[in-house]
C-alpha cells in the first residue's frame, strides 16, 4: 500500500510544478499586456497621407436608350385569398407515418 501512496505523491508534485509554471506564464502575459509601458511613436509617423478625391460623374445618357423604353414591368403578384389562409393546412400529427 505504501507504493500507491508514493506514486500519488509523485504525480501530485509534478502537477504542482505544472500549476506553478502555468501561473508564471499567465503572470508574464498579464505583466506584458497591462503594466509594460508602450513605446511612443513620433507624430510624423502617425500621419497618413490620403490620395486626392476625384469628382464623381454620373452618366444619365444611358437611361435614354430606346431598348430600355421597350421594357415592361412585371405583373404584380396578388396575395393569397383569405379563404386559402383559413383552410387547415398539413396533417394533425405530422410525425405519424402515412
- Domain hosting residue 7, numbered range: 1-35
Whole-structure pTM value: 0.35
Say if 25 falls within a structural domain. yes
Q: Which residues of the chain are under the pLDDT cut of 70?
A: 1-4, 40-46, 80-89
Say if 31 falls within a structural domain. yes
- What pLDDT score does 16 carry? 95
Q: Give the C-alpha separation, 98 to 96, whole Å.
A: 7
Say if 21 falls within a structural domain. yes
Task: Report the domain count for the chain.
Answer: 1
Say if 75 falls within a structural domain. no
Alpha helix segments (H runs only) across 31-81 = 43-46, 66-69
Q: What is the CA radius of gyration of the chain?
A: 38
Amino acid at each position: 500500500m505504501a507504493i500507491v501512496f508514493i506514486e500519488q505523491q509523485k504525480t501530485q508534485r509534478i502537477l504542482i510544478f505544472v500549476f506553478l509554471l502555468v501561473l508564471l506564464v499567465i503572470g508574464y502575459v498579464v505583466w506584458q499586456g497591462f503594466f509594460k509601458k508602450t513605446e511612443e511613436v513620433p507624430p510624423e509617423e502617425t500621419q497618413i497621407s490620403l490620395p486626392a478625391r476625384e469628382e464623381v460623374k454620373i452618366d444619365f445618357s444611358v437611361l435614354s436608350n430606346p431598348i430600355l423604353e421597350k421594357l415592361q414591368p412585371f405583373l404584380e403578384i396578388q396575395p393569397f385569398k383569405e379563404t386559402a389562409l383559413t383552410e387547415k393546412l398539413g396533417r394533425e400529427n405530422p410525425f405519424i407515418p402515412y
